[in-house]
Structure 1
Amino acid sequence: MMKCDCEERIGLEINSYNLFINLKDFFEQQEQEGLFLDIKVDEPYYLWRNGNREVAYYATKWYKCKCCGCLWEFEYPDFPQKGFVKKYKDGIYNGTQVIDSKIK
């Protein structure tokens, strides 16, 4: 029987290359062991709107835990821009930040 450790893990900011590599290796290993599924990222984490223009930023990866159903959002860093890992315990993505701008 497979068992996950999602309950003990938290989302975090990725502010170093070593942390990024450790997290990337962890998620890839979980996928290889059949514990996580690499699923298609289909919603942006950031959406900026101005009239009929939109700019959307999507995470690099989403992983779904087969045991507990937890969804993990993984944005690779592009230093000096930091990355992040976010956890959605219920498996439902609700992380999109929407900015509506009115430029005149």
Structure 2
Amino acid sequence: KIIICTDVDGVFESNPKVHKKASIIPYVDRSNIDEVLKCAGPSLKIDVTGGMRTKVALLYDAIKSSNSVGYILNGSKAGTIYNFLIGKGANFTEMRW
């Protein structure tokens, strides 16, 4: 498993910091990766992370080349990583090749 932690609950159809009613995209694979990359935007501020689009693209390349499963989840919210690891109540986006 490859896990990327960010400051939102996963990949959304639009930026949840701008659009409060944005819906999470629970699953990404080769059938929807192109559409997801169109939805995922750049960072809203100057930083080294490249925004969600960069995270999605890099994670997808990593899972494709390693035959792993990838996850994007909120690492800044207390309990999210623990709940993810024990399989209880965490929001996230799962990526498979």
Give the TM-score, by structure 2 length: 0.33
**Which structure has more RCO (C-alpha within 8 Å, separation ≥ 6)?**
2
Structure number with the higher strand fraction is: 1
Structure number with the higher helix fraction is: 2
Give the TM-score, by structure 1 length: 0.32
